[in-house]
Amino acid sequence: MRAGLRLGRAAEPCAVVIFGASGDLARRKLIPALYRLVQERLLPAEFAVIGLGRTPMSDEEFREKMKAAVVEFSESKSVDEEVWRSFAAGLQFLPSNIDRPECYAELSKRLAEVERERGTQGNRLFYLSVAPEFYAEAVKQLGEAGLTKQDRGWVRVIIEKPFGTSLESARELNQQILVHLDESQVYRIDHYLGKETVQNLLVFRFANGIFEPLWSRQYVDHVQITNAETVGVEGRGGYYEKSGVVRDMIQNHVFQVLSLVAMEPPASLSAEAVRDEKIKAMHSARAFTPERVRGECVRGQYGAGSIGGRPVPGYREEQGVDPTSVTETYAFVTMWFDNWRWSGVPFYIRSGKRLAKRVTEIAIQFRAAPYALFGQAMDELAPNQLVIRIQPDEGITLRVAAKVPGQATRIRDVNMDFRYGASFGVQLAEAYERLILDCILGDSTLYARRDMTERGWELVMPILEEWGARPAEAGFPNYEAGSWGPEESSRLLELHGRRWRRP
């Protein structure tokens, strides 16, 4: 997909302004990603980065801190000194407060200087790496300072997740932002869409004639999407108490992946054509009623257990967490798409913390052979399954039946396996590298459109409201850290004659 979109295209000169440049995301992801793009010669020499933050520091202090960050968080654990000198020459810092107009006046002056000195041609990318409650204020101040006007070059704004905390707040945030920006200027980032295997979903489906004809209710029994983490809340207990796994992961990351699995072929590879098909699929998703939530969804919260042989505390013992919390750290959701392609095919989604293994994958389970031609030899066979691993060990596995060598007819499941690292012998680019470059190129394919963010909230709000109406029944904690979640989710699948795939 992306090679076709980028063919013959080069990044234009521009200035990148990072709000919250002294924060964790800038250090761990954004600055290393920008450095790597310069190192790979994917950005022009006419390029600059202005970091904004409340922590006072000089340009030189900022450069030193960012150099240390690149060394710490890059794959090579080092920098190419010649590349760094070139990158650092365009790296500046401006102490700033988001809600002060005078700071934006100063930013405007700095951008004018950068344009003269670095030749950025008035093209500007603003990256809002700040707390979500500041998104609207930052855009408002940019607009009132005249910095969102596209009279000298293009202006684009990247907004991090979470985009709202409910349907109402997401709609309100969209309205506030679109007072000062056109929708085409807004890039709502979801770093999962920058992962190589997620992008490969479209290529895998629409460039291979053998799979797309099978990608429907006629041949698919069900789909499982697993998003499992072994980590807990990692010192973010205060944030997670207000969020939970449905808001934190399912409403955005998982639904984005789900839409790529369920969508129809787009008319072209343009950003709008791809995003149109994604939202069409999500509009056909069946709405959740209280009865559906009680019968087809499961919530959970981890208790104490062990991960990798090391004891870990339960969620309620984590720093910043209410000792009587009913916030879910695990969610199992059954999705149905009421359309011709997927009618009657369940999509089982599970996402959780402190699970047995860190893995994000899509498992497409096909229907069993219509007749057991080989009799008892087929008793132990599992149905054919296609597994797309998003992380880690990115790749694709197809499970098929094969005869065991010998005189007797014995059949066993075998895997046909493809791994990115082994097949291509290259280091996969970080998601933020890909997504930042796409924004500079003006390619919004891998970014969430307004209607997609709001549709995600429309789907999950009935789940959250039903669970919120009966917190006393949660019975938390209900799964041990290091397990695969509550037993209730496995029992629910067994009632349908199915089992969870164990990655």
- Rounded to an integer, what distance in angstroms lies between the CA atom of residue 202 and that of residue 191? 17
Rg (CA), the chain: 24
In degrees, rounded to 5, the angle at the alpha carbon of residue 36 between the alpha carbons of residues 33 and 38 is 115
Give CA separation, 333 vs 181, 246, 347, in Å.
35, 9, 8
- In angstroms, what CA-CA distances link 326 with 173, 318, 331, 468? 27, 13, 13, 9
CB-CB neighbours of 228 under 10 Å: 20
Pairing of strands 310-312, 305-307: antiparallel
| C-alpha separations of 196 from 2, 24, 125, 421, 425 in Å | 10, 24, 24, 11, 14
Please choose, from the candidates 35, 465, 487, the residue with its C-alpha nearest in 3D space to the C-alpha of residue 292: 465
Cβ burial of 291 (10 Å; 0-12, 13-18, 19+) is: exposed
Active-site annotation holds for 253: yes
For residue 408, the tally of other CB atoms under 10 A from its CB is 7
Q: For strands 155-159 and 124-128, give the pairing.
A: parallel
Are 137 and 166 spatial neighbours (Cβ–Cβ below 8 Å)? no
Report residue 158: phi and psi, to 5°: -95, 130
**Residue 365 in contact with residue 214, Cβ under 8 Å?**
no
Q: Which of 180, 253, 283, 496 is catalytic?
A: 253
- Give the three-class secondary structure for 124: strand
Q: Which residue, chain included where needed, has tokens 């369940």?
A: 346
Which tokens is 392 given?
């880690």
Question: CA 215 to CA 345: how far, in whole Å?
Answer: 11
Beta-ladder partners of 333: 297, 349
Active site (catalytic) residues? 253
